[in-house]
Amino acid sequence: MNLKISLAQLNLLVGDIAGNSRQIMDAAIFARDQQGAHAIVFPELTLTGYPPEDLLLRSELLERVEQALDEIAREVYGVDIILGYPRCQDGKLFNAAGVIRDGEIIAEYFKALLPNYSVFDEKRYFESGTEPCVVELNGVPVGLTICEDIWYKDPAAHAAAAGAKLLLNLNASPFHTGKAVEREELIRKRSQEIGLPIAYVNLVGGQDELVFDGGSFVVGAAGELTQRAPFHQEAQTLVEFQAGTPVTGEIAPYPDEVAGIYNTLVLGVRDYVIKNGFKGAVLGLSGGIDSALTLAIAADALGSENVEVVMMPSRYTSDMSNEDAIQQAETLGVEHRTIAIEPAFNAFLDMLQEEFAGTERDVTEENIQARCRGIILMAISNKKGKILLTTGNKSEMSVGYATLYGDMAGGFAPIKDVPKMLAYRLSEYCNREREIIPRRVIERPPSAELAPDQKDSDSLPPYEVLDEILSRYIEHEQSTREIIDAGYDAETVRRVARMVDRNEYKRRQAPPGVKITRRAFGRDRRYPLTSGFN
């Protein structure tokens, strides 16, 4: 039997049931009328967007979901609509996938495996389903599964045992480096194992710290990849099954590693800024690599005309920094302005003179400078309705080499999960066609320029070493003992671990940013502030 299914890789808005519902109906009508599809499949929790978090505890949300399901059923005939939504039954909430056909929900599946690790909290909201669901689409028995279900054998095997000849998997699978390959390898293995083709539909778009990267795909019963939608953009891909076998279609390429990360950052920034209704973005451009990279991402995400930068030199800022910052702003054609922080910095030093009598100069004065910059930037953000983008990288956030309410101020932190060494690789990527980021910015030794002749390497191990230790300690949760045994200097490892542990309080007040690694700060890593663990 011939079966055509449209895979709707959409960018949805969490909580916007009415808007998501309109997108669903438009896509369904397109699938029916333009693609000649028998059915259309959407990502996990289509109606609410993913993850809806504690909105799931609000009765209004569930009421609106019911209304939207009624409306979709009433409005769209002639194509089977397979979509995700929360479903309350006997006082329990399920993460459901339903099939709407000609005015009614003809079948419903409840997700069996609920992820409750990393960024996921599904057991906070949902109960596990226990039954497979197989439904005939144009005569082909199709088994429904949702995201995590496909990562383990049972749900797929149960659907196969219940007669499915093809599996659909509705997903909201967020990006991290290497994840797309991991997904495909796993689903190919699963399809070989059960001997059935699998169509995997992913969400696309940014939601707070997560970016869903799309790349929906289809594998045949022998695990062969037959079709793949593009990454990082919406797509509505028609897949055709002939006699139960997927016809080979277009296979969009994987972006290479650095390009995939860059595109993720751009999409994450764009969606955060636009979905939250900002008029554009402002950021402080220091002449250093982190703000240079952040500017490049912001310009790609929002358009140069929607980005404004401010240079805020102090007595410690080198001419080189000012020159390089202006050069990049002009290359990109973004609005730029210089506001020296000396008047405010001096005012604070005067105001605090009595309070600080008899004390030594220390990091306090460095923080005051960073915070003067924070005030300037937040004032522009407040006055103009532009979001302030924070420019700190993951290495700094890890060890606390950043000032709360100073350079940490802002609404979104694009490269918060980008380790310093990766920031260099991303900067080279930005310059692949022309020199967006001035060469000197990439090549000079990193400095916060908050004290005379200051360099990051005065207080931190070289980033080559630091990033390796951080990756082991944070992303792979190795113990200091394991890291030392892997050949790193014992004192350095212990010092770095101590810095990470002690700076949890700063990270707790940091703006959100895009997760790109296996373990980001934020919902992904939940450490106590008060802790005697060291």
Q: Is 424 in the site for its own copies (CB under 8 A)?
A: no
* Span of 121-129, 140-148, 234-242, 463-471 interacting with its own copies by CB under 8 A: 121-129
CB of 43 to its own copies, least distance (A): 16
Sequence-ordered list of residues with C-beta below 8 angstroms from that of 226, at least 6 positions apart, any chain: 197, 218, 219, 220, 239, 246, 247, 248, 249, 251
Q: Is 19 in the site for its own copies (CB under 8 A)?
A: yes
User: How many residues of this chain bind its own copies (CB under 8 A)?
Assistant: 88
Q: Is 5 in the site for its own copies (CB under 8 A)?
A: no
Tokens of 399: 């060890």
Look at residue 268 and give its three-state secondary structure.
Answer: helix
Residue pair 237/7 in contact (Cβ under 8 Å)? The answer is yes
Q: Is 197 in the site for its own copies (CB under 8 A)?
A: no
Residue among 4, 111, 506, 515 flagged as catalytic: 111
Q: Where are the alpha helices (DSSP H) in 280-404?
A: 289-302, 319-332, 342-351, 363-384, 394-399
Is 147 a catalytic site residue? yes
The correct pick among 8, 45, 51, 461 for binding its own copies (CB under 8 A) is: 51
User: Which residue lies nearer to its own copies by CB, 260 or 268?
Assistant: 268
User: Which residue lies nearer to its own copies by CB, 77 or 527?
Assistant: 527
Tokens of 315: 């007595």
User: Which residue lies nearer to its own copies by CB, 64 or 228?
Assistant: 64
- β-pair type (245-246, 104-110): unpaired
* Span of 29-37, 365-373, 462-470, 484-492 interacting with its own copies by CB under 8 A: 365-373
Place of tokens 């990049």: 328
Q: Is 490 in the site for its own copies (CB under 8 A)?
A: no
The correct pick among 90, 139, 443, 526 for binding its own copies (CB under 8 A) is: 526
Q: Is 380 in the site for its own copies (CB under 8 A)?
A: yes
Site string for its own copies, 142-181 (x = CB under 8 A): ----------------------------------------
Phi-psi group of 292: left, alpha or beta (phi > 0 → left; psi -120 to 50 → alpha; rest → beta): alpha
Q: Is 400 in the site for its own copies (CB under 8 A)?
A: no
Please, which of residues 306-345 interact with its own copies by CB under 8 A? 310, 337, 339-341, 343-344
The correct pick among 275, 336, 394, 515 for binding its own copies (CB under 8 A) is: 275
Give the span between the Cα atoms of 60 and 64, in whole angstroms.
6
Neighbours of 421 (CB within 10 A): 18
Place of tokens 């062969």: 224
Angle between helix axes 319-332 and 289-302 (nearest 10 degrees) is 10
The correct pick among 89, 477, 490, 498 for binding its own copies (CB under 8 A) is: 477
Look at residue 255 and give its three-state secondary structure.
Answer: coil
